[in-house]
Structure 1
């Protein structure tokens, strides 16, 4: 099977979403990697759409990537999160690797081979504080080596390459970090923790002892502080939020179908869940508006490094993440109450258990408490934006 060169991103993403949806329940029940969806993404060449066209990509904007995250989120949360996290790492290469010959060649390879990228930013001893590292990369001549106790590497066993953070050298401060790209043939993974969780089971985010050796030119040329501020954190909050919006959309659609079925059974009588459905629809629109506003802010700021690193931009992106992650739980709970026992049970057209469990990860992926603490510090110096025009 080959894809049509004239097929739009929406058509290609739609085909992947259909495959992801067909296997979503089994992926969750078996806590297995969504291999069918991953294979479909590669077949449809969706893993390289963000790369520049002169390197073999399609110059897709972050808004276009987010739309696919949302579509996949309506089908399979694990597949959608895998796609989002891949493109979060790819955004760092696109934004900060264009001036490096090795990283440009690597992006060409991602396009040619549809390589899947994973992230290793968490570490034993620091938890989810990605702006600190204990491990340090060692550079000896033109080679570098790294050993890291990575407590979580999403789909690490299935990735073709891992982008991993560390201190810049053994004498560097914990916040003086770099990011390095290691391809699968350049590292070993020894599993140290098993991903047995409430939700997002198919992301297979086991913990590993990572040991890698590669040419030193594979270290990204920009400090990780710049990469995090100018690409990684913003794209994380935006693409994650797009996935969460997709999960909530599917929950509301199931609730709407339930209310419609009840209305057909009793013509002229408003079903008891109709009012709560209207409330869920209202909240869903708020999440959509929140994500769209964040994407517009990013697209406007992406060509201005100073704006990307500003306090106002950081506050805006933090607010997108916190607002989306908290609101979707209310939406899905509304849907559960509408569908009643058929939403609570597995195996019905209205089942919402997987949606609710997966959505609970949203507040924990970079803890909302950590983000709110950061925002509170920023607001001590930053003047709140009170306009409607940005």
Structure 2
């Protein structure tokens, strides 16, 4: 676990931890079926609603529990270790809630939406990618079109996170028909307002239960549902950090789960030959050190964001973006390597399905980590930033 530092909300955080563990038990029981059938982790998400996990980050004045960024990240780790797909659904939902909390407080409509998320445990999905932009969420082809006191959107979304099961979708588009592709806004579209025509199927190697099919998304909604701040600010000040850090916490959970199975296989070997050191023991110790390093990397990233979250200048600084990018790239690399090493340690039993030492599902799921906002794209963005900023070579901030 990430073992987040407890604050004034320690009671709520402790309760959320126990509730997340209850959800994890449900998620783990269905994880293989979710993966095999490529289906939405309905049981786990229903348990999240029953345990009231979907509104945890919503401030208490809007009916939530006001959990910190680090406390939410810890729950991503718990759920990711039980079922990667269920954990990713939770993480993706909380990424959108982070944007809502950080950038919706000045808007009466978005404040009311926060209350409804907390009260009704609404699940929020994401539509930020689009045909024709190559996975670049900071550019849009479609536009928000004014229509009286409403706006209309028509988006060819290559993926919408669990689009068929979301209660609302946050979609990006150009701010206006004459706006540049990078001049974007984000709008909340509720389920009853969304027209969804499926255009592709989410048939993937891993993370199969996120069911992120492609859709033609159309909607006409009140203009008040558009976030008042430009998407550029939302991306820089909340979405960048929450995506990279919640995903990294999730990947840490997957890596820990796989290595736990490898450890169990080494222990089983030790019981069979009590007078000999099992062949995988030395590899296990090295992999455990790598897991500890991954934990430190993620916790450091979370701590940096917690320090910066109330300082817009720091959130917009190039150095902050470089640091968050570094966490994403390095966490995804390390997590993949740890799960691959877990397979080596467990050997053929790790390779086979349907046994306690199997890590096949975790391996297939973790291979998505370098591809979710592709590391090459992240590194290219970092390269541009480094042309205009200093390297961070200080040990202390």
**TM-score (normalised: structure 1):** 0.98
Deviation at 1:285, TM superposition (A): 0.9
Q: Describe the SS at the equivalent of 2:82.
A: coil
Matches within 5 A, 1:305-324: 305-324=312-331
* Stretches (4+) displaced over 2 A: 4-7
2:136 to 117, 129, 135: 129
User: 1:21 corresponds to which residue?
Assistant: 28
User: 1:360 corresponds to which residue?
Assistant: 367
Deviation at 1:5, TM superposition (A): 8.9
Q: How many residue pairs are counted as aligned between the two chains? A: 387
User: 2:105 corresponds to which residue?
Assistant: 98
2:205 to 189, 198, 217: 198
1:188 to 172, 189, 195: 195
Q: Judging changes above 3 Å, is the alpha-carbon distance between structure 1 residues 6 and 168 closer, same or farther for their aligned structure 2 residues?
A: closer
2:274 to 267, 280, 288: 267
Deviation at 1:127, TM superposition (A): 2.2
- Rounded Cα–Cα distance in structure 2 between residues aligned with 1:60 and 1:165: 26
User: 1:12 corresponds to which residue?
Assistant: 19
Q: More deviation in 278-287 or 225-234?
A: 278-287
**TM-score (normalised: structure 2):** 0.96
Indicate yes or no: 2:216 matched with 1:209: yes
- Rounded Cα–Cα distance in structure 2 between residues aligned with 1:110 and 1:365: 26
- Rounded Cα–Cα distance in structure 2 between residues aligned with 1:106 and 1:238: 24
- Rounded Cα–Cα distance in structure 2 between residues aligned with 1:172 and 1:377: 24
Deviation at 1:268, TM superposition (A): 2.7
Deviation at 1:236, TM superposition (A): 0.1
User: 1:345 corresponds to which residue?
Assistant: 352
Q: Describe the SS at the equivalent of 2:99.
A: helix
User: 1:73 corresponds to which residue?
Assistant: 80
Q: Describe the SS at the equivalent of 1:38.
A: helix
- Rounded Cα–Cα distance in structure 2 between residues aligned with 1:5 and 1:80: 20
Q: What is the CA deviation profile of residues 56-112 of structure 1, one whole-angstrom value per residue up to 9, with x for unaligned ones?
A: 001101100000000001100000000000000011110000000000000000011
Q: Describe the SS at the equivalent of 1:320.
A: helix
- Rounded Cα–Cα distance in structure 1 between residues aligned with 2:286 and 2:381: 31
- Rounded Cα–Cα distance in structure 2 between residues aligned with 1:193 and 1:115: 25
- Rounded Cα–Cα distance in structure 1 between residues aligned with 2:189 and 2:218: 10
Deviation at 1:237, TM superposition (A): 0.1
Q: What is the CA deviation profile of residues 252-303 of structure 1, one whole-angstrom value per residue up to 9, with x for unaligned ones?
A: 1001111111111111311110111111111111110110000000000000
Contact 2:84 2:365 in 1 (8 A): yes
Alignment gaps of 5+ in structure 2: 1-10
Q: Describe the SS at the equivalent of 2:304.
A: helix
User: 1:159 corresponds to which residue?
Assistant: 166
- Rounded Cα–Cα distance in structure 2 between residues aligned with 1:253 and 1:299: 29
